[in-house]
Amino acid sequence: MNFKRLASYLLLKIIWYYQKYISPDHSPFSKYHPGGYCKYYPSCSEYARLSIIKYGPLKWSIKWIYRILRCNPFSKWWIDNP
């Protein structure tokens, strides 16, 4: 298994764990946020998951950091596909 596949696999597992047990949009806590917690669609964790699958771990990290920097109280709701 090469480095790119191993890194992608580990990152996807971390995101899966986060979505399943911690995320306010995907975990059992989502019942407390019926309209969704994240102002972007897809949510940041789903965006990260889709970006890793589409671009790999290196380009994903750049796209994800840019996405996180755009998330602030002054940004508007929008659809942002990877």
- Rounded distance between C-alpha atoms, residue 21 and residue 27, angstroms: 5
- The confidence score (pLDDT) of residue 16 equals 92
pTM: 0.74
CA-based torsion, 78, 71, 69, 66: positive or negative: negative
- The confidence score (pLDDT) of residue 78 equals 67
Q: How far, rounded to the nearest angstrom, does the alpha carbon of residue 8 sit from its chain's CA centroid?
A: 13
Q: What is the pLDDT of residues 3-36, one digit of tens each?
A: 889 999 999 999 999 888 887 777 777 777 666 6
Q: Domain residues of the chain, as ranges?
A: 3-26+42-74
Q: What is the pLDDT of residues 57-71, one digit of tens each?
A: 888 888 888 888 877
Residues 6+ apart with CB under 8 A from 54: 82
- Rounded distance between C-alpha atoms, residue 74 and residue 11, angstroms: 29
- Rounded distance between C-alpha atoms, residue 82 and residue 79, angstroms: 10
